[in-house]
Structure 1
């Protein structure tokens, strides 16, 4: 049984066939999925999906693209929403300097508030970072100095330093379909040095479909393709990487039930 630790089942791409998407994931051996929140204002919609399916969990948080829209939510507000029984994570949150859709100061402030919420709840923080490695490391280090919290680098596609520094701080690393792309050899080389007990897999569906589906709409069933490439990179079987990443998921997402 695999776990898709990060997908977006509330997105319009799935509206007309969500039951079929979840069923295809189950048939492919994907036992659980986490549908990730990108706007706190839409948490009601996201938790409704988690309530609808026994094998779907959810998170609560603001994507960095939307950071300036949701600074009226405090860490305490986020923690309160996270009390929902199917909410198993905080985020996704972080820094995105590639698009810069929100002011960087707002992104940093939102990041810090979500870190506080993760510390308050004990739920893992799902971190989005793009072209912002140095500031991501600095804010994580600052946060850890105030008190440890669980976290993972979602959709890892950054430089080696971010991965290694994050591992030193106790973070996990989650791999998406990017791992399967021809141009991603540097990422594969870095992942060779990430301990097996810190690795997870995800789709980030509907985005980033792995090979051979690249360019098409992604969905949770395709996480199997990413897991196979991860197994090849680590020199283990698909069965082994399935067990390892699933065990890692339930260790990190400790509120989730098998």
Structure 2
């Protein structure tokens, strides 16, 4: 089962042709999409997309939108997660490229604790904080683990996160010629430790450079990862599809 484990079909970039985008993914053999939330005001759009097992949804508070998150958003997020059919909490996390690290960590910690209380997997955005995030996850021992979205860290960091019960999301970055370290890491990952994703409309693979990214392009990610690992794209799709099912417990 070929799946896009992380995309953002709720974003306005898809307003003009969202059904066609989903249709193109299906035509490319992508049978499952996971759409990650970033703000509370997206919940209506996310629930409208939901088709459990085909288009699954998550709710979360992304660090890029700190100024959009209010003081009571964690409580509202908890209520939304409890009252809708979601597969995870997320996207949440920390990003060293943006300001307000203390605010980011407070918001992230609150969501990790909520994921633990609700026994939900958590979808984590982590840029240049892999070691710190690994330490935090080790302290919290989340029962349902989660996804480290768009992983680009080292093999040592990957092994630590996998050992904590987390799955790695491998996206368009691995397709780029300059991504030598990431290619070596992906080639060495244990089977069952990673899934494929697009982060559409962002993180466009090399074969679609200059275009809006979309879930159909997970086939380009799959082709490169299969090449790196010396297996067929069909075998990779079956392996990563099964990994996603285990992660989401459905």
TM-score, normalised on structure 2? 0.93
How many correspondences in the alignment? Answer: 250
SS of the residue corresponding to residue 108 of structure 1 reads: helix
Please tell me whether the aligned partners of residues 10 and 42 of structure 2 are also in contact (alpha carbons under 8 angstroms): no
- Structure 1: 5+ residue stretches without partners: none
Tell me how far apart the structure 1 counterparts of residues 228 and 118 of structure 2 sit (CA, whole Å): 34
Give 1:218's aligned residue.
213
Give 2:184's aligned residue.
189
1:200 pairs with 2:195: yes
Please tell me whether the aligned partners of residues 5 and 34 of structure 2 are also in contact (alpha carbons under 8 angstroms): yes
Give 1:11's aligned residue.
11
Over 3 Å counting, the alpha-carbon distance change for 1:78 and 1:186 in structure 2 is same
Please tell me whether the aligned partners of residues 95 and 128 of structure 1 are also in contact (alpha carbons under 8 angstroms): yes
Please tell me whether the aligned partners of residues 7 and 206 of structure 1 are also in contact (alpha carbons under 8 angstroms): yes
Please tell me whether the aligned partners of residues 147 and 167 of structure 2 are also in contact (alpha carbons under 8 angstroms): yes
Q: CA deviation at 1:122?
A: 2.5
Tell me how far apart the structure 2 counterparts of residues 58 and 2 of structure 1 sit (CA, whole Å): 17
Cα offsets for 1:173-228 (capped at 9, x unmatched): 11011110111110111122221111100000001111210221100001011011
Give 1:106's aligned residue.
103
Give 1:167's aligned residue.
162
1:227 pairs with 2:222: yes
Over 3 Å counting, the alpha-carbon distance change for 1:68 and 1:140 in structure 2 is farther
Tell me how far apart the structure 1 counterparts of residues 108 and 186 of structure 2 sit (CA, whole Å): 25
SS of the residue corresponding to residue 91 of structure 2 reads: strand
How does 1:24-63 map onto structure 2 within 5 Å? Answer: 24-50=24-50, 55-63=54-62
Please tell me whether the aligned partners of residues 79 and 118 of structure 1 are also in contact (alpha carbons under 8 angstroms): no
Tell me how far apart the structure 1 counterparts of residues 72 and 82 of structure 2 sit (CA, whole Å): 15
Tell me how far apart the structure 1 counterparts of residues 154 and 194 of structure 2 sit (CA, whole Å): 16
Over 3 Å counting, the alpha-carbon distance change for 1:29 and 1:73 in structure 2 is farther
Over 3 Å counting, the alpha-carbon distance change for 1:84 and 1:196 in structure 2 is farther
Tell me how far apart the structure 1 counterparts of residues 19 and 89 of structure 2 sit (CA, whole Å): 25
Cα offsets for 1:66-123 (capped at 9, x unmatched): 24542524655433312355411111111101133xx111111111121122222222
Please tell me whether the aligned partners of residues 71 and 110 of structure 1 are also in contact (alpha carbons under 8 angstroms): no
